[in-house]
Amino acid sequence: MSQSFEFYDERAREAATEAENAQLDMVRERALRAEKTWRGLASQAKRVELDRAKAEQVRAERRAAEAEAAG
């Protein structure tokens, strides 16, 4: 099951908040690493969403062209 950009972005924001509120350096560093990871996953999810939209557009154009040629 794939997660959405919004899911990953929310986790990144939570990690950033945790880092801002951390009293201990190790906790802050862990939260910053988590934020970086979640941001990377959010970027990847956004790219996948865009790629899927582009692929669907290409398929729709292909179907329209085939329908026009047949009809």
The secondary structure of 18-65 as a DSSP string is: HHHH-SSHHHHHHHHHHHHHHHHHHHHHHHHHHHHHHHHHHHHHHHHH
pLDDT in the model for residue 3 = 85
pLDDT in the model for residue 71 = 76
pLDDT value at 59 more than 70: yes
Full-model pTM? 0.79
Query: Distance from CA of residue 52 to its chain's centroid?
Result: 12
Q: What is the pLDDT of residues 6-55, one digit of tens each?
A: 999 999 999 999 999 999 999 999 999 999 999 999 999 999 999 999 99
